[in-house]
Structure 1
């Protein structure tokens, strides 16, 4: 999921983070030989990053997870990304229920399976925050990213150390030592992938790559503008380059994002200021771009992306914004420009099919995610990682766990 604000917010303190090598963390362990279904055990106590309320200080707390029930698994988390969507739930931009375990972008290893599970203990997996039911009208027509029953796993699960029922970000609560989730919310991946990069497959990478490949279907030789350069925006840049786009304009309010953007695949970096439209048209023979990707989730940046797009072009909204942030466009402009305005939910993807493809590309070095990982931190320093995210620093900070 993506940043609902392009401008950095004020810092809230916290310790400084030391950038690490892009891969970060230890390699994911392969499945145990022989595998097999394990009997369910008692509830377990783990440490997790918890928000007790909107605007409350983030704390690492002990929480109690239930044993996996029928069709459920417990996953030991190896790495989890720090995403702006989690921050938006904490600061009130997006609705949330508390107390809330943060995190929805993660990788780990199956540690325990409930009755009837088809998974094997020891299998490396990526978590899926929108598991499809495969039975609703949208799933049957091949649009699992719009599944009507994907919210089923979002009921409270587990409890705090003082006995209060826990809510989980997007049904996962992945910034924790372990999670208990429906089996359909995990996707097996090859062993040996760097955890800090593998974690991003479940959100930033699938969302960004899918927006380019599935939603916009960028073709070789086309021009692209990307507004907002968080983890998803950088993934869009990389995917546009791999799709063969020849003009790839990266746009952000922060000059500090320039080097990241160019490393991810941009041909040009442009500051979001009053000269932006002129700069874009100067690079597109005065037409505007074929495709603009809005990766912020604000009405103002959606309108900006609209203005940067040529007649007959397309604006793809990838950022998830607040429900009361209304977009206003002129009726005549909509008609005369013949532009398309659409959203891309989870990259218009089928995660069960596409995450393994991306994982194979990562394993073969065809997909380079190093530029997306600004650094790794232990769970105790996760609050500081959110402070850096709020200040607009880096691309993706990743929490790694032993």
Structure 2
């Protein structure tokens, strides 16, 4: 198969012929049809996070099941599926208490082949790293069955793929992690794909005021199409004071969708007493967040993390598709460009340069 292979940080990805293995027990081979280019891919491509090299990046994908291995029960050949980077085992403490999205962080070895087995991906005798259990910048993926959710076949693939990361991360953080209440106030910092999804989710949840915060006026304008009632550009005003003024004391819920110390602290300081700040962005290893300790006691403000929107994806994905079909989830407006495999390097550079016109760039395959 053809795949976009990363061999060095910040170097252009090379389109190479990669050998993909046959499905083993509980493994599924999927022919991909659409792949979203996410900022999380950029974090590994630009060297901010370590990656096993060579590696195929990509983790936001949708396609059609081609083959299944033994013991597979979740999907069958011909099924249309969305992938997710947070598989679940179904038997650990986190799965059994309804926190499936955490399972993959403590049970990593369950979803990969062992070092003694033939690798899923290789070029000649060289093993190719599988990124986040998926490696979606390719024509096919070979994955554990619990990374997949079967969906309706009438769902367009280029929209479906977005649900597998950016949308579930943003909307899920609103619905599950923070549990935004109708009539409450919300601030979303960072209006890329995940931030726009969080804004959309807050609107669906019934928030009365949704404040979009971003340095790009283009992204702020786009945010209003997803449900933002107000916009704040921190390059022009003090964002914390502006949000507090708009809400007469601070928001009930804030969402950090950038992945930086400054914006995480900003999300906390925008809260009113008993408010909840949810950090969604990928903050680099070694970076710590500083907040006034005494405020945690006297104001009962809270700050929390959320991985992949605290999802229950086999329940969530069909529901999100229904919301899209009802016109409530604005997946069409998320797509800023459609490209081929050879366009991925440029797409990631666009995200790295923080181009205001870019929401989600989608690789479309025949």
TM-score by length of 2: 0.93
Q: Does 1:102 align with 2:62?
A: no
Number of residues of Structure 1 aligned to a counterpart in Structure 2: 356
List per-residue Cα deviations over 1:79-126 (Å, max 9, x = no partner).
011011111011121221111101101000001112232332111000
Counterpart of 2:91 in structure 1 is 135
Cα offset for 1:253? 1.5
Quick check: which one's helix share is greater? 2
| 2:20 and 2:122 in contact (8 A); partners too | no
| 1:190 and 1:360 in contact (8 A); partners too | no
Give ranges in structure 2 of 5+ residues lacking alignment.
none
Cα offset for 1:159? 4.0
Partners of 1:128 and 1:54 in 2: CA distance: 24
Counterpart of 2:46 in structure 1 is 91
Counterpart of 2:22 in structure 1 is 67
SS at 2:362 equivalent: strand
1:285-364 matches, within 5 Å, as: 285=248, 287-364=249-326
Partners of 1:333 and 1:142 in 2: CA distance: 30
Distance 1:124 1:159, change over 3 A: closer
CA RMSD of aligned residues (A): 1.6
Which ranges of 4 or more aligned residues in structure 1 deviate by more than 4 Å? none
| 1:130 and 1:150 in contact (8 A); partners too | no
Q: Does 1:113 align with 2:71?
A: no
Counterpart of 2:111 in structure 1 is 153
Q: Does 1:372 align with 2:334?
A: yes
Give ranges in structure 1 of 5+ residues lacking alignment.
1-45
Which of 57, 70, 79 lines up with 2:12 in the alignment?
A: 57
SS at 1:213 equivalent: helix
| 1:131 and 1:150 in contact (8 A); partners too | no
Counterpart of 1:396 in structure 2 is 360
Q: Which has the higher contact order (CA 8 A, sep 6+)?
A: 1
Which of 247, 272, 289 lines up with 1:284 in the alignment?
A: 247
Counterpart of 1:77 in structure 2 is 32
Partners of 1:346 and 1:275 in 2: CA distance: 30
1:117-266 matches, within 5 Å, as: 117-118=72-73, 119-147=75-103, 148-150=106-108, 152-154=110-112, 157-266=119-228
Counterpart of 1:34 in structure 2 is none
SS at 2:18 equivalent: strand
